[in-house]
Amino acid sequence: MAHGLTPTTRTREGYRLLALHAQGARQDPTFNACRESCRELIYQCNMALAATDDDERGRRLLYAEAVLAHLRLFVEGKLEVAGLGTFCCASRPLHGETKKDERVETSALPENGEENRN
């Protein structure tokens, strides 16, 4: 609706959420960044439905809730700031520039998947 389109009622791979994602990504390819989050949300909800144990069902639903909050914040951010970025956590335009002392020193991070053995 934000782009002047009627939200689709179709499904993709059996899910409306994935069809809505595809519709949004068609207008703005940077929405592709949240496709896997959509899939994770579907997976966690399906696992909660299939759970026979109340504790397991509760854990799955809590995780689904966290994924849903992440998706909501991403979509709201994309609608608030056009061109937010191609990676879903690239929300710097929403928060302003970080101060130099708040930045992660990347030279201290392991390279090529190597573990930090210090």
- 8: three-class secondary structure by DSSP: coil
Residue 68's Cα: distance from chain center in Å? Answer: 8
| Predicted local distance difference test score (pLDDT) of residue 117 | 41
Residue 90 CA to residue 38 CA, distance in Å, equals 18
Residue 47 CA to residue 56 CA, distance in Å, equals 9
pTM of the model as a whole: 0.62
Residue 49 has a CB neighbour count (10 Å cut-off) of 10
- Give the pLDDT confidence of 83-118 residue by residue, as tens digits: 555 444 544 555 555 444 444 443 444 444 444 444
Q: Where are the domains of the chain?
A: 16-108
Structure tokens that stand for 15 in this block:
């899910």
Mean pLDDT of the 14-42 span:
86
